[in-house]
Amino acid sequence: MTEIHHDYASVNGVRLHYAHAGQGPLILFLHGFPEFWYCWKQQLEDLGRDHFAVAPDLRGFNLSEHPAEVKQYKARILVEDVRQLAEQFGHRKFVLVAHDWGGAVAWAYAMAHPQSLSKLIMVNSPHPVTFARELAHNPAQQDASQYMNLLRSDKAERVLSENNYARLAKMTLESWSGGAIDPAERALYLEAWSRPGALTGSLNYYRASPLYPPAGDDPGAKALELDPADFMVRVPTLVVWGMRDQALLPGCLDGLEACVPDLRIERLPQATHWVMHEEPERLNRLIREFIGA
């Protein structure tokens, strides 16, 4: 089994922690909320056999720095974090794999810097154009995304940290494990969530984004007018989607090819939002097949 190592990099004004395994072509993994590098452990161990596999804690999460201001989590800043981190590794091109909020960063990165990517692999992370459309016009997606308005609110930290992070654990650990999460893994997640500033940092991704469902007088995504031509992804892209995702519904895939011309979609009928935890071996096979490794 490939050994995982840990290091830090100073990029874009913050210090980022990252886990890495192996040597070879660079493959970079970006996690979502409320996770950290560890969610890619099984991908690092597998892809690290013949790649330099890297999974950072994104700014605001776990061992990376946690800027307090919401404006420090704007998309362009997060994209620049990734650009500078990849640049430090000295690879001309690399493969980018991402999930959830990491996927939001990866979509934006692929639009801004397509020349640096050989392949893009997205796991249950909607493209901004299709997600904005679904949030604005699909009542089912609006209902499914109501949690986003809670996470944007001032009370989010209190609600999520109550009873030793019981709500976060139910949303995540207990969801993908069927309630049978390993106690050691639970301890790792509780430690990551409990680091000073980490919960606020991770919630600031929601607060900084214009993509959220309407709420009362706030139109949310209805206020956006996104031209697909401005959001084109010109990188060969694989989208892996757990079809039982209760937060991001399959409608987010409809019309995706208009923004991603070189597109393959792999639908996993039994998986939920947490594909890396539920079907890690299948995900590894799909990644290897797509990148030709």
Q: At what angle do helices 183-194 and 198-208 cross, to 10 degrees?
A: 70
The single-letter DSSP state of residue 273 is S
Which residues contact residue 140 at a Cβ distance below 8 angstroms, ignoring those fewer than 6 apart?
249, 251
Alpha helix stretches (DSSP H) within the chain = 41-47, 75-89, 100-112, 128-137, 139-144, 146-152, 156-171, 173-177, 183-194, 198-208, 275-278, 280-291
Between the alpha carbon of residue 102 and those of residues 82, 140, 182, 184, 275, the distances in Å are 10, 24, 24, 24, 14
Point out the residues that are catalytic. Answer: 100, 206, 273
Distance between CA atoms of residues 126 and 144, nearest Å:
14
Distance between CA atoms of residues 130 and 107, nearest Å:
12
Which residues contact residue 68 at a Cβ distance below 8 angstroms, ignoring those fewer than 6 apart?
197, 200, 201
| Torsion (CA) 275, 46, 36, 179 in degrees, nearest 10 | 50
CB 35 within 8 A of CB 188: no
